[in-house]
Amino acid sequence: MDRKRLLEVTELKQHFRVSKRYTVKAVNGVSFVIHEGETYGLVGESGSGKSTIGRSIIRLYQPTSGRVTFEGVEISGPLRGKEQALLRTKMQMIFQDPMASLNPRKKVIDLIAQGLDIHKLYKSKEERREKVYRILDKVGLSREHADRYAHQFSGGQRQRIGIARALIMEPKLIIADEAISALDVSIQAQVVNLMKDIQEETNTAFLFIAHDLSMVKYISDRIGVLHLGYLVETGTTKDIFENPVHPYTKSLLSAIPLANPIQEKKRVAVPYDYATSGIDYALGREQSLSNTHKVLATDEELASWT
Amino acid sequence: MNEPVLSIRDLSISFKTSNGTVNAIRGVDLDLNKGETLAIVGESGSGKSVTVKAIMGILSGNQEIRSGTIQFRYNRDGEEVHQDLLQLSKKDMRRRINGKRIAMVFQDPMTSLNPTMAVGKQIMEGLIIHLKMSRPEAHERALELLRLVGIADPEKRMKSYPHQLSGGMRQRVVIAIMLACNPEVLICDEPTTALDVTVQAKILELIKNIQAKMQLSVIYITHDLGVVAKVADSVAVMYAGKIVERGTVNEIFYDPRHPYTCGLLSSMPDIVTETEKLYSIPGSPPNLLHEVKGDAFAPRNRYALNIDFQEEPPMFQISDTHYAATWLLHEQAPSMEMAASLKARIETARKEAGEWTESDSWR
Amino acid sequence: MADRSYTESHRPGDFQLADPHARAHVDHTYSNQSYWRDAYRQFTANKGAVIGLLVIVLITLFAIIGPMLSEHTYKSMNIKHKSLAPRIEGFENMPVFNGVANGIHSYKERKLEDVYYIFGTDTLGRDLWTRTWQGTRISLYIALIAVAIDMVIGMSYGLISGYFGGAVDNAMQRFIEILSGIPHLVIVTLLIVVLRPGLVTITLALMITGWIGMSRVARAQVLKLKEQEFVLASRTLGAGSMRIIFKDILPNIFGQIIIMSMFSIPSAIFTEAFLAFIGLGIPQPMASLGSLISESFKSMTIYPYMIVAPVVVLALLMLSFNLLADGLKDALDPKMKEM
């Protein structure tokens, strides 16, 4: 697939200094690439650093070290006018909590048009309203919703408002930070389908951060598996699900319960305990198993796993 | 046929809000047999949590029980007792039932544990109060329990505080506390939703093992069908305060009859098969402030019939254990094909499972 | 086939997924009203708060028109009429307002048959009715101005300190700590010594440390909201700090600020009264509730009626403001609404 590279993350590190002696090493040297129009699924459990990566990329945090380029422009260094303008318009984020991600005192139309207001992307009030209406149609809400308040909607509808807020800026990349985790199962399917439709229509790329591997499989083209701040394995969806190499990936896949009672009752998850496994992520380096499939391992480990 | 341990009949609960009365539960019938696991599946607003809170007698002040009985069969001093839990006073519930015979594990382990008390002390509390053990006896038993739930180094952990433990460990401690008094029934309200998937797998294994060892009857509340497949013997699917389908776990997964159950199964992405497009149930659950006319699921049901909007469907019997409340099972209802993708998925699942016998598939 | 009273048929064309309008109905769980109308409803349901509000309105009304109702001014002295008991026309046979104090009908004694003072007079012959309401005017005025300025200064200080955090926050908070370490009374006394005692000086004295509490509340609220996702969303959209503080955070903490202000009004009134009582208040012949109490305190055992009116008004004001603030707190406090 010779698609253009949209986002390149190289050796991103994010450490938080909690006190003089204690630093939280949330992200330790993560590198990956997202191409135009594709969905990259970033998967991991709590403490893996996946949300931190999303927030570092969009500069809610200041990266400790490493390089992030977006459309060829470096956005991990000091942000001047040009980088700011690019970052704040062409990259958008959707958040996890549908209740907390919308300002309770703002009307829906003001919530959605916030980006337009800040960057002055319209000439008249009517134009603003028209733009908001068009986006509401796209995300499956009705025009009369524009004058209501966020607390009058259900969780799934609020998430759609959040998507509308991101989408109205016509971004090239949307970072979905656990955007469906707080929703009911049937609503998750609705929202995920919406994201797929949007991608088809606008060729927007998605960085889909989640802990639910089955949903990630459904929506992603490529996947990265995170553990304790390290990217332990990355590849296309097929690579990861049909040919997992890293023991953590294997244990993660085996832990997902299947909707098949007779099978499921017989199955036992593959255990994996980092502390006792003898693996040290800091010693591994990125090994290529194919064009697309990469694993974090030392040479000996790679030999024993394949 | 063994009499069920817990028997809920015609339970109706409503509660007052500043905007009116919400009919949260509208006539629920449930049975829990000894030694089995019953899973109650539903989304938010289905009323699953309210139902089990009614069993435990911990409904909030503005919640009112309109009708119904909850018959509990248990052993007291060698004698078998039948008791309608809804008739017990709060004091008797606390003295005889809560924690002692029916125990509950909640979703968030951090808020279930007292953050200012050491973990060991919290386990011992129930033992000392309910079982009247002495402190050294309780201490020994607490150590035993910690080992039972798979916590390494129990001596050290007795003195730990909840914030020093990981989420999975905290949930294990909660389970230990709940098992302390040898209850007969364990209710788990989404115990693993807040935990990572690998930790979840371990906790589910743990509960299964303990259940077998202690002959517990377990009620599991969840919205995750994968978890249901793993732990449940029988399943009740709830929607808008009513049970829409009930049966053994195999029946529900390999032969779902209610359109909502099918919708739920279809909207789960399958890790095994390739899915081109994920089916999603349109709309959102109904607002129970308003009186429901007909079938509550009708507005979202692509297979809705005219009668669904007028009259509520009764429970139709499919087999001895399998019931569904949908007009589609009526003899005059037209025959309907299940969605192709779901049918294919169930076929694959059945083939993999191997043992399930063929029965009448969906008309 | 048995006779059935219902019909069964497919809804025409129902094999496609529902159209957007069917899919996206608004949950009518809440009334379609804004936050303020909801708060209004909550507030009016609280009887105590409504009573408090009514009393405040009543007292304010009297404070405005009271002095105009009487032919005396607040400083006109009439020595012949000193220390007269409260007397209203027509109340001759009632137990109160009949001109009798300590068993002595002071009007009769001095042959002042046609003279009426509703609240009586003080030791210098000044009409207490006029003075009481004039005093209320001054007390209310001082309190409201002080609180209003406190609100503006305290809120801004707390917002900026809380939002920017880090070194800025550190410096600003240390400054507050130093300021609050200096005894309030000392500052006030110094002020009054340096500047002439007067309305402006008293207001200044109240303002000096009054804003600290407000800024702490504002800062705490900001810290709570700063990491909320809707603030993060504004940041990702490119909003600048000022926009975020005033458009995103401020509307969400406004309720708390109002509550805090309402609670500080009674304490401002009381502080002024206290200062007046110890002699640091507004100078004679101007009156405030506190100075009235201070004067009448000296003759409390001989002429108890002199102290009654200002004390009652003061107590009612403080109680009512507290009730009002409580009611506002319940109405404006953002509660988690059930989903």
| Model confidence pLDDT, tens digit, residues B192-236 | 887 888 888 888 888 888 888 888 899 999 888 888 998 899 999
**pLDDT value of residue C277:** 81
Q: pLDDT-derived band of residue B249, with 50, 70 and 90 as boundaries?
A: very high
**pLDDT value of residue C44:** 84
Q: Are C155 and C221 in contact (CB under 8 A)?
A: no
CA atoms of A27 and A47, how far apart (whole Å): 10
Count how many domains chain B has. Answer: 2
Helices C128-164/C47-69 angle, 10° precision: 130
**pLDDT value of residue B16:** 83
Q: Does A114 touch chain B (CB under 8 A)?
A: no
Q: pLDDT-derived band of residue C33, with 50, 70 and 90 as boundaries?
A: low
Residue A204 has pLDDT above 60, yes or no: yes
CA atoms of A151 and A270, how far apart (whole Å): 43
**pLDDT value of residue B357:** 52
CB contacts, 8 Å: B45 with chain C: 339
B346 and B208 within one domain = no
The sign of the CA dihedral B215, B109, B115, B103 is negative
Q: Does A234 touch chain B (CB under 8 A)?
A: no
Lowest mean pLDDT among B229-233, C46-50, C77-81, C141-145: C77-81
B157 and B28 within one domain = yes
Average of per-residue pLDDT across C261-281: 81
CB contacts, 8 Å: C29 with chain A: 152
Residue C24 has pLDDT above 50, yes or no: no
> Who among C7, C24, C30 is closest to B19 (CB)?
C30
B227 and B263 within one domain = no
Q: Are B327 and B354 in contact (CB under 8 A)?
A: no
**pLDDT value of residue C1:** 31
Give me the residues paired with residue A5 across strands: A35
pLDDT digits (tens, 9 = 90+) for A109-158: 999 999 899 998 888 999 999 999 999 998 888 888 888 888 878 888 89
Q: Are C132 and C310 in contact (CB under 8 A)?
A: yes
Interface of B with C (CB under 8 A): 17-19, 44-45, 282-284, 287, 289-290, 299-300, 302, 304-307, 310-311, 327, 330, 332-334
Average of per-residue pLDDT across C252-281: 82
B164 vs C24: which has the higher pLDDT: B164
**pLDDT value of residue B201:** 85
Q: Does C278 touch chain A (CB under 8 A)?
A: no
Q: pLDDT-derived band of residue C25, with 50, 70 and 90 as boundaries?
A: very low
Q: Does C186 touch chain A (CB under 8 A)?
A: no
Residue percentage of chain B with pLDDT more than 70: 95
What is the domain extent for residue A123? 5-305
In the three-class reduction of DSSP (H, G, I as helix; E, B as strand; rest coil), residue B25 is classed as: strand
Structure tokens at A112: 């959605």
**pLDDT value of residue B362:** 35
**pLDDT value of residue C16:** 33
B20 and B114 within one domain = yes
255-294 in chain A: CB under 8 A from chain B: 255-265, 268-269, 272
Q: Does A99 touch chain B (CB under 8 A)?
A: no
Nearest to A239 by CA among A179, A178, A306: A306
Q: Does A149 touch chain C (CB under 8 A)?
A: yes
What DSSP letter does each residue of A193-239 carry, written as one string?
HHHHHHHHHH--EEEEEES-HHHHHHH-SEEEEEETTEEEEEEEHHH
Contact B280 A193 (CB under 8 A): yes
Contact B304 C23 (CB under 8 A): no
* Helix-strand-coil split of chain A, %, nearest 5: 40, 25, 35
CATH class entry, domain C58-66+127-338: mainly alpha
Q: Looking at CA atoms only, how far is residue B260 from chain C in angstroms?
A: 14
Lowest mean pLDDT among A20-29, A226-235, C117-126: C117-126
CB contacts, 8 Å: C23 with chain B: 282-283
Q: How many angstroms separate the Cα of B25 from the Cα of each of B10, B264, B301, C321?
A: 9, 20, 21, 43
**pLDDT value of residue A19:** 82
Q: Are C85 and C106 in contact (CB under 8 A)?
A: yes
Mean pLDDT of chain A: 89
**pLDDT value of residue B358:** 47
B121 vs B356: which has the higher pLDDT: B121
> Who among B282, B290, B311 is closest to C22 (CB)?
B282
pLDDT digits (tens, 9 = 90+) for B86-96: 888 888 888 88
**pLDDT value of residue C34:** 64
Contact C239 A151 (CB under 8 A): no
Q: pLDDT-derived band of residue A98, with 50, 70 and 90 as boundaries?
A: confident
Structure tokens at C329: 């707190």
> Who among C7, C15, C28 is closest to B287 (CB)?
C28
217-256 in chain B: CB under 8 A from chain A: 223-230, 232, 249-250, 253-254
Burial pattern C23-41, b for ≥16 Cβ within 10 A else e, equals bbebbebbeeeebeebbee
Residue percentage of chain C with pLDDT more than 90: 11
Q: In this structure, what CATH number is given to the domain that contains residue A181?
A: 3.40.50.300
**pLDDT value of residue B274:** 67
Residue C26 has pLDDT above 50, yes or no: no
pLDDT digits (tens, 9 = 90+) for A212-255: 888 898 899 999 999 999 999 999 999 999 999 999 999 988 88
Contact C238 A93 (CB under 8 A): no
Q: Where are the domains of chain C?
A: 58-66+127-338
Residue B164: inside a domain, yes or no? yes
Lowest mean pLDDT among B95-109, B202-216, C7-21: C7-21
CA atoms of C48 and C50, how far apart (whole Å): 5
CA atoms of B140 and B128, how far apart (whole Å): 12
Residue B323: inside a domain, yes or no? yes
Residue C264 has pLDDT above 50, yes or no: yes
Evaluate if pTM is beyond 0.90: no
Instruction: Note the residue count of chain B.
Output: 363
CB contacts, 8 Å: B197 with chain A: 45, 211-213, 252, 255-256
Average of per-residue pLDDT across B146-152: 87
CA atoms of C81 and C104, how far apart (whole Å): 15
B219 and B343 within one domain = no
What is the domain extent for residue B339? 256-353
Residue C10 has pLDDT above 50, yes or no: no
Residue C14 has pLDDT above 70, yes or no: no
CB contacts, 8 Å: B290 with chain C: 28
Which chains sit next to B, with 3 or more Cβ pairs under 8 A?
A, C
Q: pLDDT-derived band of residue C3, with 50, 70 and 90 as boundaries?
A: very low
B274 and B187 within one domain = no
Give me the residues paired with residue B185 across strands: B102, B217
Q: pLDDT-derived band of residue B360, with 50, 70 and 90 as boundaries?
A: very low
Residue B250: inside a domain, yes or no? no
CB contacts, 8 Å: C30 with chain B: 19
C276 vs A203: which has the higher pLDDT: A203
B280 and B224 within one domain = no
Q: Does C20 touch chain A (CB under 8 A)?
A: yes
pLDDT digits (tens, 9 = 90+) for C201-236: 878 877 787 788 889 989 999 998 888 889 999 999
Q: Which of A142, A152, A258 to mutate to test the interface with B (most CBs of B within 10 A)?
A: A258
Residue C253 has pLDDT above 50, yes or no: yes
Q: Which of A154, A185, A215 to mutate to test the interface with B (most CBs of B within 10 A)?
A: A185
Chain C nearest-CA residue for B337? C15
Contact B306 C6 (CB under 8 A): yes
Q: Token pair 């949908």 is at which residue? A: B326
Instruction: Note the residue count of chain C.
Output: 339
Nearest to B194 by CA among B153, B219, B227, B158: B227
Which chains sit next to A, with 3 or more Cβ pairs under 8 A?
B, C
Contact A259 B253 (CB under 8 A): yes
Q: Are A30 and A49 in contact (CB under 8 A)?
A: yes
Residue C19 has pLDDT above 60, yes or no: no
> Who among A190, A265, A269 is closest to B280 (CB)?
A190
Q: Looking at CA atoms only, how far is residue C223 from chain B in angstroms?
A: 23
Contact C22 B287 (CB under 8 A): no
Count how many domains chain A has. Answer: 1
Contact B332 C4 (CB under 8 A): yes
CA atoms of B127 and B118, how far apart (whole Å): 15
List the helix and strand counts (H, then E) for chain A. 13, 12
Residue C132 has pLDDT above 50, yes or no: yes
CA atoms of C277 and C274, how far apart (whole Å): 5
DSSP C247: I
Q: Are C225 and C168 in contact (CB under 8 A)?
A: no
Q: Looking at CA atoms only, how far is residue C131 from chain A in angstroms?
A: 45
Nearest to A213 by CA among A256, A271, A272: A256
Q: What are phi and psi of A8, to 5 degrees?
A: -120, 120
CA atoms of B207 and B218, how far apart (whole Å): 9
**pLDDT value of residue C333:** 66
Q: Looking at CA atoms only, how far is residue B334 from chain A in angstroms?
A: 26
B225 and B286 within one domain = no
Top-ranked range on mean pLDDT: pick from A162-166, A187-191, A252-256: A162-166
Q: In this structure, what CATH number is given to the domain that contains residue B80?
A: 3.40.50.300
Chain C nearest-CA residue for B15? C338
CB contacts, 8 Å: B282 with chain A: 190
Task: Count contacts between A and C (CB, < 8 Å).
Answer: 93
Q: pLDDT-derived band of residue B272, with 50, 70 and 90 as boundaries?
A: low
CA atoms of C261 and C264, how far apart (whole Å): 5
Burial pattern B309-330, b for ≥16 Cβ within 10 A else e, equals eeebbebbebeeebbbbbbbbb
